[in-house]
Structure 1
Amino acid sequence: MSLRVIKPGLLTTIQDLGRRGFQKHGVIVSGAMDTYSLRIANLLVGNQEGEAALEVTLMGPTFEVEEDCVIAITGGDLSPTIDDRTLPMWRPVYVKKGAILRFGRCKSGCRAYLSVAGGYAISEVLGSKSTYLRGQMGGYEGRALQVDDVVPFNGHSTILKHEWTESFIAAKWFVHAKEFLPSRIPVIRFLAGSQYEYFTNSSKLQFVDSLFKVSSQSDRMGYRISGPALELQHKRDILSEAVSNGSIQVPPDGNPIVLLADRQTTGGYPKIAQVITTDLSLIGQLKPGESIQFSQVTLKEAEQLYIQKEQKVKQLKVALSLALQ
């Protein structure tokens, strides 16, 4: 049981929630750029929420479905179709063997997540199926998908007994995407970074009062964002220290870098901010050229926002467990 790659798309990789516990050895975490979309894609097909899915970036791939299966697509809208019929997102879909699954024009967001019931039959490396491209580790042979790759999945025996004539059948119910993805310029909330006090007062104000744009020099390692140059009060030598997903470093040119899934384990640039966990998925859906705005919150507010978001996921899990019975 598998998906065969007809066209690979711009960047299609296998990702889960990351390779954790090895940063002290210099091994990066990787994982999905939009973890909420990945988790929901898995829940929709009855998987554990941390199971691996295909992360599809901007220009999507084309697959031949080589066995009946149940899939779900969440995240950015990359115009998915099956046999040239629009494929509804954010819901489970029964797909028939031989169907052609295509991703087309990017209508919104940047990354879509394709899950399959039973999960992809990919070996774990250090406890994760995530692909780390620079290290050629994990995923499908440590790289992005290519033409004629065959991506195996474990399948779901119960659906093989179901007979239908259409190339796919989508559930009538769905998850409301706007609960997890914004439809306008996102405001990214942050906590003060380790070196926040090193920056000038005018730079601190500009950071929250200005619009920044995502640079074309952005990837899974980090997003470079352009706007007013941020300045330190005095030049300082800073020892390299641990960085995390969402750390915002400011190099000498004054243009911030938001570190993301494939970030390095340590960094030596001053950090003005730390994006709160709740908003990391929003950054993962931004395209080069799109705008971004920042808003400072307290640690207590960040914790409350995290609890509220996780409660939504918990409620969704309960609703899905009833719907999938």
Structure 2
Amino acid sequence: MNVTVIKPGLLSSLQDAGRPGHAALGVGRAGAMDLPAWQLANALVGNTNGEAAIECTLAGPSLRFEQAAVIALTGAPIAASVGQRPLPMWTTCHLPAGGVLHLGRMASGCRSYLAVRGGFDIPALLGSRSSDLHARIGFAQGRALRAGDVLPVGPAAPVPGSSTGKEACPLDWSLDPQPWFDFAGRPLALLRGSHWSRLDEASQQWLFGGRFVLSRDSNRTAARLDGHTLQLREPLELISEAALPGTLQLPPSGQPIALLAEAPVTGGYPRIGQIAAVDLPRLAQCRPGDTVCFRETNLDEALARLAARRRRLARLRGVIAERLGQARWKRT
């Protein structure tokens, strides 16, 4: 089975959990920016082996499915339709052979995820099918999708009842997106970095009490935060040290940079903070112009919140798998 890209959207790429563990080779993790949304999209179509999905940015692609398929959409709210029929998010949907899925703009947030049962079956590199757009690693030398791309889909047994429908239709239930998409814009949890004490007092206070704005220059490598200029007590010269997603750096401009999924493995700017991993998906869903603010946390709290989210995801994936075995479709 193949999926053909008719229109690529603003920035669409194939992503899975990434390729951690290769920093010694100079290779970053990459992977989905919003990992829980990617995991739940896969769960909703019955994928269990970390299959690649399409990460859409701000506006999604149009895709033709050559054979009948089962898909799911999660993440930022995005308009979706097949022909004249709108499709809901956060549920499982059947698409007929030859169906064209149109994904529009996102009402809020920045990234949506499209999973297909069987996963997009492109060759893996260093254990991952993710496209690293910065390092040019992955599908078609790590570039975004283009019109005319043909994406193979891996084999998978059909969801009960899905192969008989000749029209697009969803299941009769869906997930509540509220726990998995931040509609309220709460502060992100931030640990003090190794150079936090080098900030002057006013900058320390602003970091945990002020507001920044996500710059238009942000991408999958880093979120640039405009607004109040932070300053060090005195100039600081550093050699490059290890960096990872969530590291908050302070370049000479005084405007912080938060490293994201395609973070380089080393960096030479002062590291004034580390965003808690559990909150990185929320930063990934910020769009240019959105307000970003931080609250102070510690390692124990950050780890406890991350562990609790993993437990919730594991339970939810189990419930989804059980309900997929008893699928009931909304036929017209």
Q: Work out whether the TM-score is over 0.5.
A: yes
Q: CA deviation at 1:134?
A: 3.0
**Contact kept in structure 1, 2:52 and 2:121, CA below 8 Å:** no
Q: CA deviation at 1:161?
A: 7.4
Distance (Å, rounded) in 1 between the aligned partners of 2:294 and 2:210 = 8
Tell me, what secondary structure is at the counterpart of 1:108? coil
Greater Cα offset, 21-30 or 218-227: 21-30
Q: Match for residue 134 of structure 1? A: 134
Residue 321 of structure 2 is aligned to residue 318 of structure 1: no
Distance (Å, rounded) in 2 between the aligned partners of 1:255 and 1:161 = 51
Residue 276 of structure 2 is aligned to residue 280 of structure 1: no
Tell me, what secondary structure is at the counterpart of 1:255? coil
Q: Match for residue 86 of structure 2? A: 86
Distance (Å, rounded) in 2 between the aligned partners of 1:84 and 1:214 = 35
Q: CA deviation at 1:141?
A: 4.3
Q: Match for residue 177 of structure 2? A: 177
Q: How many residues align?
A: 324
Matches within 5 A, 1:81-230: 81-159=81-159, 162-166=163-167, 168-230=168-230
Q: CA deviation at 1:105?
A: 2.1
Q: Match for residue 234 of structure 2? A: 234
Q: Deviations over 1:105-142 (max 9, x none)?
A: 22021111011111111100111101012332113442
Tell me, what secondary structure is at the counterpart of 1:306? helix
Q: Deviations over 1:271-300 (max 9, x none)?
A: 111010110100111100111110011111
Q: Match for residue 328 of structure 2? A: none
Change (3 A) 1:152 1:228: same
Change (3 A) 1:305 1:49: farther
Q: Deviations over 1:49-107 (max 9, x none)?
A: 62211011112111111111111110111211111322111111111111110111220
Greater Cα offset, 270-279 or 77-86: 77-86
Greater Cα offset, 197-206 or 139-148: 139-148
TM-score w.r.t. length of structure 1: 0.96
Q: CA deviation at 1:190?
A: 1.1
**Contact kept in structure 2, 1:210 and 1:227, CA below 8 Å:** no
Q: Deviations over 1:14-68 (max 9, x none)?
A: 0111112211111121111111100111111111262211011112111111111
Distance (Å, rounded) in 1 between the aligned partners of 2:259 and 2:163 = 45
Distance (Å, rounded) in 2 between the aligned partners of 1:165 and 1:68 = 9
Q: Match for residue 251 of structure 2? A: 251
Aligned structure 1 segments of 4 or more residues deviating by more than 4 angstroms: none
**Contact kept in structure 2, 1:19 and 1:126, CA below 8 Å:** yes
**Contact kept in structure 2, 1:14 and 1:140, CA below 8 Å:** no
Greater Cα offset, 179-188 or 288-297: 179-188
Distance (Å, rounded) in 2 between the aligned partners of 1:244 and 1:118 = 30
Q: CA deviation at 1:157?
A: 3.4
Distance (Å, rounded) in 2 between the aligned partners of 1:92 and 1:223 = 32
Greater Cα offset, 130-139 or 274-283: 130-139
Q: Match for residue 329 of structure 2? A: none
Tell me, what secondary structure is at the counterpart of 1:232? coil
- The amino acid of 2:307's aligned partner reads I
Q: What is the identity percentage for the equivalent residue pairs of Structure 1 and Structure 2?
A: 36
**Contact kept in structure 2, 1:38 and 1:49, CA below 8 Å:** no
- The amino acid of 1:291's aligned partner reads T
Distance (Å, rounded) in 2 between the aligned partners of 1:163 and 1:200 = 66
Distance (Å, rounded) in 2 between the aligned partners of 1:170 and 1:85 = 11
Q: Deviations over 1:240-287 (max 9, x none)?
A: 100111000011111000000111110011111101011010011110
Tell me, what secondary structure is at the counterpart of 2:301? helix
Change (3 A) 1:277 1:161: closer
Distance (Å, rounded) in 1 between the aligned partners of 2:257 and 2:217 = 10
- The amino acid of 2:163's aligned partner reads H
Distance (Å, rounded) in 2 between the aligned partners of 1:300 and 1:321 = 32
Tell me, what secondary structure is at the counterpart of 2:208? helix
Greater Cα offset, 206-215 or 182-191: 182-191
Q: Match for residue 17 of structure 1? A: 17
**Contact kept in structure 2, 1:248 and 1:257, CA below 8 Å:** yes
- The amino acid of 1:305's aligned partner reads R
Tell me, what secondary structure is at the counterpart of 1:24? helix
**Superposition RMSD in Å:** 1.4
Distance (Å, rounded) in 1 between the aligned partners of 2:200 and 2:179 = 36
Tell me, what secondary structure is at the counterpart of 1:157? coil
Structure 2: runs of 5 or more not aligned: 326-332
